Amino acid sequence: MAGNIDINSVYTAVLVVLEQEKRGVLMPTQFNKIATQCQQEIFTEYFDELNLILRQPQTSLAYADRLNMLDEKIQLFKRALNIPIGTGVATGGVTLALDRVIIPATVQELGTISFKKNATTAGRELQRIQPFEVFTTNESPLTKPTEFYPVYLYENGVLQVFPTGLSTGAQNSATAKDLQVNFLEFPADVKWGFKIDPELGNYVYNPLDSIQFTLPKSDQPLLISKILGYAGVMTKDQFAMSIANQKEQQINANSNK
């Protein structure tokens, strides 16, 4: 992907269209709220699109592989975090038990989770289990978690690791174990930062006080279209989609008569 969308170019384009359509001015605070909402919508639409693509035949052509193109977009939100286990984590004045770690609130979806016993030992991937499986998994000789077959439970932002012996000796830096958590991070709220021109009194873009979009540049037309839709401007694509939906509803109504 050729970089992320620049928030100033998006805001400038939106203001130009609003001026042409005589829709007034979209204030920076209003733009920031709408732009954040639109970015979140596009982000969640990636996974709806992914589900559809996985059900369809794939092509091997480099520039027409929709799955790879979509994966490149999702890559922008992939993160990896190393968290030491076995030390307990304090939150809200309460110290969590050993073998429990807090997952950041920005996590949208957990990916693979693994741990390393030390710097030279290969990592072992943890398998996720559901709350109703905790008792039977731990009690059965066949499924009981071990250092070579670890599992985890994830509830209410807290991740619990089994077996509990994974944290033994974690206070000793020589034997401490790190949990590597791979996850998708929800996009942060965007912000078009500005300063007030002392002479003209107008808004001047301030990149140092701005938070950029996480979306790739290829989604800029879609992003601008969504923002204009919230601002009350219907683009040609939106108008065509609206007409198509109305026509489909009319056809369905006639067929039910």
pLDDT in tens, 107-131: 888 888 888 766 666 678 889 989 8
Beta carbons of 3 and 75 less than 8 angstroms apart: no
Residue-averaged pLDDT of the chain: 79
pLDDT band at 93 (very low <50, low <70, confident <90, very high): very low
Provide the whole-model pTM.
0.73
Q: Where are the domains of the chain?
A: 7-74+216-255, 78-185
